[in-house]
Amino acid sequence: MDRRNFLALLGAGAFEVRAGQQPPASEPARVESITAPATPAIALNHLGFLPDARKVLVFRGTPPSPAQFSMREIGTHPGVVIELTRPLTKVTGDLGNCSIGDFSELKTEGMYQVTVGSERSVPFFLRPDVWRRTLPRAVSYVHAQRCGVAVPNVHPACHLDDARRDDTGEHVDVTGGWHSAGDLRKTGTTMTSALGLLYLARNLGGRWDLAGSGLPPLLDEIQWGNRYFLKIQEPGGVIWNDTAIGASGDNRDNRWTDNIVGNSDDRKAGTRKTGLFQAMFIILQAMAAQVFRETDPGYAQTCLAAGRRCWEAAKMGTIFTRDPLLAHFWTATTELGWWTEAALELYRATNQLAYEAAATELGRQLLSLFTRDFVGSQKTVRGFWRSSPDNPAPNVDPVYSALPALALLDLSLVFPKHADSSRWRDAVRLHLDEYVLPLSARSAFRMVPYGIFLGSPTAEYYRPLAGEVTYRYFMPVRKQYWWLGTTSHLEGYAVLLGMAAKAFGRREYRDLAYRQLEWVMGANPFGACLMTGEGMRNPFPHSRFVGLIPGGILNGIAGNSRDEPVLDIEYGGDWRTCEYWCPHNAFYAWALSVLESV
């Protein structure tokens, strides 16, 4: 199919992803009307379970009498009947009337199905590769998002005319890279795609793909994406924000083009500079320098030099103000976590004491934002970060919420003999034991809530915790138009919990890490698997330009003003819950690379 026919088929220019636009007035009412259906009542991970893992199902609603579930092996042991019946235990908590069924004792590999009353669950596996076999599909999603080249069965060559500078109008070659989400833009956030691949390479090496393809597919994909990121680096060292996001986030450039350089059809390169994207770029280049050191030392040196130039130019973010277009996106504390990781990766790549000093100083600043005391006249939870030095509100972040704790834990692993190492570790343990564990225990699903608050910051429901402290499982929806599902929030905590399980020898952290991923893979109130091509009841993605992309992970379940779960399962094209986005695949790959190596 040629470009002209392809554009005609898609209705060139007709599709506008709503991210960055105000929603129609009718949308809040529609969101309030979306509720989790009564069925399926059985919620469990559609992929299945590792034989040695904790295995639970959640039954929503009042179970039949007697309150029990039956489980049967349905296909992989011909002539052998494996079945068991166990009780359902009622759980008092949030997100509906629920009961738990525990079948952790079962370790025999096979395909199983659970029955409660007259309802049957989706079939699922018990097998040691139940998670790792999804990694090639998750990686293939990144490949499908390539821009500037034809991707078979996805799209022809695209955006070969990217782009004109948004300040001078001069044409610059910023072709290549990856599309960021269910759209055609290339944002700084897209660097998370490269980071996910780099963590796979670091933590699992060639073992990431059970088919035996080894590292070459990962390295090839990393290099493809990084060509674009190196192109948007200025000679002085800093990088630009994006291509095609638009000067005011208005989405005008979120479209196909004619691939002809130099006419009015060209998209714009966003030359703004944001501190957090500088930190991400440095991490990417420093990690690439380490991963490619043996296979391509010349490329490794190119990456390291680019990362070091950015570090020197950015001066740890002090010359940047936060981009107002991204004010809803992360906090100063989150950004500090990314800068800490940037210094750490430069130290790993160079072993230079200057980067050690920078990393430990940033760790000191992170610790200064950590709150060990109980706040808000309660003694139920503690151990969280403030939003910034000037804002004592508890830090919340829809995507990078685990970064402050991840950075401190990483510091303690890289510098175990540093004078502050025990303080870094103690802060992480306090955060997990007296914040994450008690909050996640408040529902049968054990997912980590979005965060805690002091009182009710917006005109909607905040669940009372104790004293003046409240919490929500999902982002507030009356604060701003921009809110979305919590997939990356949960996957980020899966990374943290997996790393902590190994660092502290705590099996319960590992179990809870998998519960976060299980929510994404179907153990949720909608019984919906949020990865296209895996599981059952997949919502149709907000991917208006190319449609289904196997392995793509959706923004996920969000909440309404009453903090009830919402998910577009009625083909409404809702970007907030059903759009693909690169951080979700990145954190998924990162989490599994950690958990599979524990």
In angstroms, the CA 341 to CA 335 distance is: 10
The residue-averaged pLDDT of 556-564 equals: 97
Q: What percent of the chain has pLDDT over 90?
A: 86
Residue 378: both structure tokens together: 């309660």
Which residues lie below 8 Å from residue 379, measured CB to CB, with a gap of 6+?
A: 466
Where is average pLDDT lowest: 113-127, 200-214, 306-320, 436-450?
306-320
Average pLDDT over the chain, rounded to whole?
Answer: 91
Question: What does the pLDDT look like over 282-300, one tens digit per residue?
Answer: 999 999 999 999 999 999 9
| CA atoms 275, 282, 424, 378: torsion sign | positive
Q: Binning pLDDT at 50, 70 and 90, where does residue 75 land? A: confident
Between vectors from CA 366 to CA 304 and to CA 345, what angle results, nearest 5°?
A: 15
Residue 25 has pLDDT above 60, yes or no: no
| CA atoms 365, 349, 402, 500: torsion sign | negative
Question: What does the pLDDT look like over 476-506, one tens digit per residue?
Answer: 999 988 899 999 999 999 999 999 999 999 9
CATH numbers and ranges of domains, the chain: 42-126 (2.60.40.10), 146-179+181-329 (1.50.10.10)
Question: What does the pLDDT look like over 48-69, one tens digit per residue?
Answer: 999 999 999 999 999 999 999 9
In angstroms, the CA 102 to CA 113 distance is: 14
In angstroms, the CA 304 to CA 220 distance is: 18
The residue-averaged pLDDT of 102-122 equals: 95
Q: Tell me, what's the pLDDT at 37?
A: 77
CA 381 to chain centre: 25
Nearest residue to 215 via CA among 598, 593, 594:
593
Question: What does the pLDDT look like over 237-287, one tens digit per residue?
Answer: 999 999 998 766 678 899 999 999 999 999 999 999 989 999 999 999 999
In angstroms, the CA 159 to CA 574 distance is: 26
Q: Which amino acid is at 516?
A: Q
pTM of the model: 0.94
